[in-house]
Structure formats: C-alpha cells, structure tokens
Amino acid sequence: MVTAGMTPREAVREAENRLTAAGCPDADFDARELFRLASGRDMRISDRPLTAEEADRLEALCSRRAAREPLQYLCGSWSFLDFELAVGPGVLCPRADTEVVAEAAAQAVADIAAPKVLDLCAGTGCLGLGVKRFCPTAQVTCVEKSPEAFAYLEKNARCALAGQGRQTENLLEPTAFEQADAPAFDWGPALNALKAKPAYAVQPVQGDLFTYWETLPEGQLDLIVSNPPYLTAAEMQQLQPEVAQEPAMALEAGEDGLVFYRALAQHYRQALRPGGALVLESVLLEIGWQQRQAVTDLLAENGWADIECRKDYGGNDRCIIARRPQIKLEK
C-alpha cells in the first residue's frame, strides 16, 4: 500500500509490484506515469517524500489500474504523433500503430493544395487530426456516431492542434485542454457571443457510417480514412482486460468482422474524385492474413483500384490503401 512519507522511488516500486501482481503489462512504465499523475513530479528528479494527499491519490490510481482500467483513461489524455488527445471512458484509446495510418493517409494527398478529407468512425479524431497536422490546408470532416466518443472528438477538434506550429511555447501557460475546461470570463454580451463560436481544426459531425454516404455529393472528396470496428463476435469474448473496458461499439463488427469494411467498399467509392484514396486501418495483427485478403477482395469486387497494403514500423501489415479508378479518356 502506498503511504505518506514514502520516497518517490519507494512509492513507484510499491505501485509497480501491485500492478505486476495484477497482471498489468508494462507495470514499470505505468507506475511512473501514475506517480506523475498523483504528484505532478518526475521521480527521477524529485526526492521529496509523498504527502498524505499525494499518497491517497496514487493509491486510488493504483487500485483502478490494478482493476485493468486503461492507463489512457486514467491520464485523461494521450500522445498521438506530436500532439495530445483527450481520452476517457466511452472512446477508443489512440494507439501508436495508428500513426502509420495517419502518415499513409497524408502521403496520399500530399500533392493536393487543399484536399477534402473524410474521417469515418473518427473516435478521438486521431486520424483526421493527424492528416490535418501533416497537411495544414486540408479540409477535414470527422464523423462519429457514439455520443460519448463524440464529446471527445469535439474537444480534440478544438484543442488538440492548438498552438501547433509555434516556434516557442510558454510552458507556464495552461494547456489547450485546461483552457477548454476553465470557467469562461465575462467579456460582455457582444464579445461573449463571438468567443462562444468554437474554432475547430477539423469539423466534427455526429453521424453513422452506414448512412452518411447518402449525404455526400459524387466526386468531391480527395481522401477517406477510417479505423472502423473489426473484431468478430467470437474475438470479443477473448479481449485483453484493458481492451474489454473500451467501448464495444468501437470494436465489434459482426460475425465475420467485415460489416464496416463491406459498407465502405460498397457505398463510398463514388464520393471520391477519380483517383481519390481510401485508407483503412487493417486488422492484420489481431486477425491475420485471411481478413486482409477478405478486405482486398471486397474492395476489388466493388470497383476499387490500386489496392495495396502498408506495413507499420514493426514490419506488420497495418493499413490498406485503395483508389477510385481514374476516368479513361477515349482516343
């Protein structure tokens, strides 16, 4: 048990032992992060013993993590590329492997001056915001169905890229997330009304992938990117405890895990301009080669061209890219 008077190293060691006994992966990293959250300090450069309040906070965080609550939820935000995303219960945690998908998506529109981009099943908005970070002129719309996840999407659309691109940063200033949660200052009716309009880096929209295609004009988009649910019903019964606490709505995709891929393949090609790209996070690490082939076949059967698979930094298949065929001019 973490108690007042422990040195930082003693407290972190106690937390690590607790988390290891509970079966938490990366218990050493998690223990250091929990100490930082509880005390606001880095154990490597602080020797001051824990106060009673800090010990109580760390003990509570250890108990929650030992119950396998995701570390991202406890932190309340998580790094993606070079920015922070608000996360918490009700939204899928952003993962480092998904950065490869954002990079591949940005590369697909790198030569377009002001690409029009659609992020479906956006969750935190990590993919859409990632494209915007690489391509500042991109016009990005992020679509999310879940009300719980949409709250995080909207916050990230306002705050995640705030201040990005500045040459210097005042570390004493409140973060964009802290500013977003701060009480509003009364500037008077006129200025309050003006400041009440949120400035979004990407446009958040609450909508459903299975019907949103009906609202899209033909041939207007340059890029569609998505990390859709992909787990089969059987695989939902075998999840790691942390993943099991993430929303099932963001994970399960029917008996064969292809429900969302099928809708994307069938309904979204016409929304892209000729040559426009579809970039999908694939499920190859979790499910294997068979589903990669199934997704590739779905895309080919529905008229997609130039289908390819990209690997992540570990050499594992990570995303599938396909394009709407170019219009062939008759001679």
Average pLDDT over residues 112-124: 96
CB atoms within 10 A of CB 327: 9
**Percent residues over pLDDT 70 in the chain:** 85
User: What digits encode the pLDDT tens for the residues 15-71?
Assistant: 999 999 999 999 999 999 999 999 999 988 989 999 999 999 999 999 999 999 999
User: What digits encode the pLDDT tens for the residues 315-327?
Assistant: 777 889 999 998 7
- Two tokens at 2? 């973490």
DSSP state of 272: E
Domains of the chain: 8-67 (1.10.8.10), 77-163+173-323 (3.40.50.150)
pLDDT tier at 167, thresholds 50, 70, 90: very low
Write down the pLDDT at residue 177: 53
Q: Is the per-residue pLDDT at 330 higher than 70?
A: no
Average pLDDT over residues 200-222: 96
Average pLDDT over residues 285-303: 75
Write down the pLDDT at residue 185: 52
Contact 42, 12 (CB under 8 A): no
Write down the pLDDT at residue 288: 44
Q: Residue with structure tokens 């393949």?
A: 265
Write down the pLDDT at residue 174: 45
Q: Is the per-residue pLDDT at 195 higher than 80?
A: no
Please provide the DSSP assignment of 137-189 as one string. Answer: T-EEEEEE--HHHHHHHHHHHHHTTTTTT-S---TTSPPHHHHHHSPPP---H
312 contacts: CB under 8 Å, gap ≥ 6:
97, 100, 318
Write down the pLDDT at residue 172: 35
Q: Is the per-residue pLDDT at 224 higher than 60?
A: yes
Average pLDDT score, the chain: 87
Write down the pLDDT at residue 163: 65
Average pLDDT over residues 72-83: 95
Phi, psi of 226 (to 5 degrees): -160, 145
pLDDT tier at 313, thresholds 50, 70, 90: confident
Contact 180, 158 (CB under 8 A): yes
Task: Give dist(CA 267, CA 121) in Å, integer.
Answer: 15
Q: Residue with structure tokens 């040195």?
A: 7
Q: Residue with structure tokens 């569609």?
A: 224
Measure Cα distances from 31 to 1, 24, 28, 57 in Å. Answer: 13, 10, 5, 13
Q: Is the per-residue pLDDT at 96 higher than 70?
A: yes
